Structure 1
Amino acid sequence: MMKEQPVILVVEDDAAVRQGIVDSLTFAGYEVLSAADGREGMEKALRASYQLMLLDLVMPHHSGFEVLEALRKERPGQPVIILSARGEEADRVKGLTMGADDYVVKPFSVRELLARVDAVLRRSSERKVGDDQYSFDGGSVDFSRREVRLENGSRNELSERESDLMQYLISNAGRAIAREELLRQVWRIDPKNIETRTIDMHVAHLREKLGDHGADVVVTVRGKGYRVG
């Protein structure tokens, strides 16, 4: 079984800078996608599956701010680090206000970049769902009580692991989450050489507690994993 690594999308129009970042991240063990301008960056930002985006601000076709604006609407909560030669406070504040997690001013060292990447990935994996309630067709989940309430009046208690699993899927809504990522981020164990059947068993129990629409809430994405929404 291959170990699933975090995927990072690098959107940078300077070929030399882009290649240097890609090489550094690859050497550090990440899987890397890249885009050479704002148009390609916009397309991959909205369609690709990745855990973190490194985003230049000044690019042809679409600026980094335009990509951030689109992300805020389509994939809220997507972790982003802005890469830019612009060091002005106004740009930094604007980027952070628009949802970026961090801001690195060029030129930066590989060591600094990798430290920022690691910190943002760690924070994003630890984010809790902002709302303690999640509604779905046929019922709702109350995370503060770890309880599923179905429209027929029945209630099902969630285990702590089932609750954490559901919250992680919701916080990454719309993205297929690999079993290896769930083991790493929810179970906090290294997925290498570990049988992942435990994930499938927990998903099966979770779906059962979510009622008749459980399989529509937690969806199996063939060959990739599970997703919500």
Structure 2
Amino acid sequence: MIEDDAAVRRGVVDALEYAGYRTLEAGDGDEGLRMALGASYRLLLLDLVMPGRDGFSILAELKKKRAGQPVIILSARGEEHDRVRGLELGADDYVMKPFSVRELLARVEAVLRRTCERAAPEDKRMIPGGEVDFSEGRIAFEDGVEEALSEREGELLRYLLEAKGRVVSRDEILRHVWGLDPAKTETRTLDMHIMHLRSKLRDKAQDFLVTVRGKGWRVVS
């Protein structure tokens, strides 16, 4: 939770922890941005007006560097343009102050259900010249040749395919596929997995698994 009003922050944090959630908290925008980009968490509760970075700028940074992160805005600013701007920047919900603890917990549970209980991923996906069978851990090409995928290679390929053409950053992959904190991780293992995947996908020209310089990778369907 990022909220500069200590009384509001304490009340919400206490309610969340009483309901069984583990929490992190920050009292200004600058500290909050560092926490929002670096910590491991499922949902961010975000005030808009506070010292340092405001909530809108934090949302914009999250959209660039931590795509898909669930966010609920908690704000006394209820004008339509503020609500629209927050939702356009990627917020999942907008809760007006003052709010009841019961309402907030219901909103938290609803957003977590929407963002965490996704449909089961497909076991088979078509790729250029063949098909990936994730349940079997293999790629079967139309000429009859098969390539085995390691568990991590399969997880990486599935994640890239499910991004549906979106550029996926190194930090996002390390966080969601490897379960590592990118700020505390120096590893070339991701580059090696990308190289091995391209070899197994017969993607020597990098037409399918494309490197976007300085940003990450994307799959071209």
In the superposition, the TM-score normalised over structure 2's length comes to 0.61
Tell me whether 1:115 sits opposite 2:103 in the alignment.
Answer: no
Gap runs ≥5 in structure 1? 1-9, 180-209, 215-228
Structure 1 counterpart of 2:49, one-letter code = V
- Residue 62 (structure 2) aligns with: 71
Contact 2:132 2:140 in 1 (8 A): no
CA shift in 2, pair 1:143/1:91, >3 Å: farther
- The 3-state SS of whatever aligns with 2:85 is helix
CA shift in 2, pair 1:71/1:148, >3 Å: farther
Offset of residue 150 of structure 1: 8.2
* Root mean square deviation of aligned Cα: 4.2
Contact 2:159 2:177 in 1 (8 A): no
**CA offsets per residue over residues 106-141 of structure 1, 9 Å max, x none?**
0000000000000001111124699x9799xxxx98
CA shift in 2, pair 1:176/1:167, >3 Å: closer
Q: Distance in 2 between matches of 1:177 and 1:56?
A: 29
Offset of residue 59 of structure 1: 1.0
- Residue 77 (structure 2) aligns with: 86
**CA offsets per residue over residues 61-120 of structure 1, 9 Å max, x none?**
100000000000110000000000001111001000100000000000000000000000
Larger-Rg structure = 2
Q: Distance in 2 between matches of 1:105 and 1:27?
A: 22
- Residue 146 (structure 2) aligns with: 154
Runs of 4+ in 1 over 2 A off after TM superposition: 126-130, 132-135, 140-151, 153-158, 170-179, 210-214
- The 3-state SS of whatever aligns with 1:11 is coil
Structure 2 counterpart of 1:19, one-letter code = R
Contact 2:93 2:111 in 1 (8 A): yes
Gap runs ≥5 in structure 2? 164-171, 180-192, 198-216
Contact 1:141 1:147 in 2 (8 A): no
Percent identity between the two aligned chains = 52
Q: Distance in 2 between matches of 1:134 and 1:90?
A: 42
Counterparts of residues 102-141 of structure 1 (less than 5 Å):
102-127=93-118
Q: Distance in 2 between matches of 1:148 and 1:39?
A: 46
Q: Distance in 2 between matches of 1:211 and 1:43?
A: 29
CA shift in 2, pair 1:128/1:71, >3 Å: farther
Contact 1:102 1:120 in 2 (8 A): yes
Tell me whether 1:175 sits opposite 2:175 in the alignment.
Answer: yes
Structure 2 counterpart of 1:149, one-letter code = I
Offset of residue 213 of structure 1: 4.7
Tell me whether 1:37 sits opposite 2:63 in the alignment.
Answer: no
Tell me whether 1:25 sits opposite 2:16 in the alignment.
Answer: yes
- The 3-state SS of whatever aligns with 2:98 is coil
Structure 1 counterpart of 2:42, one-letter code = Q
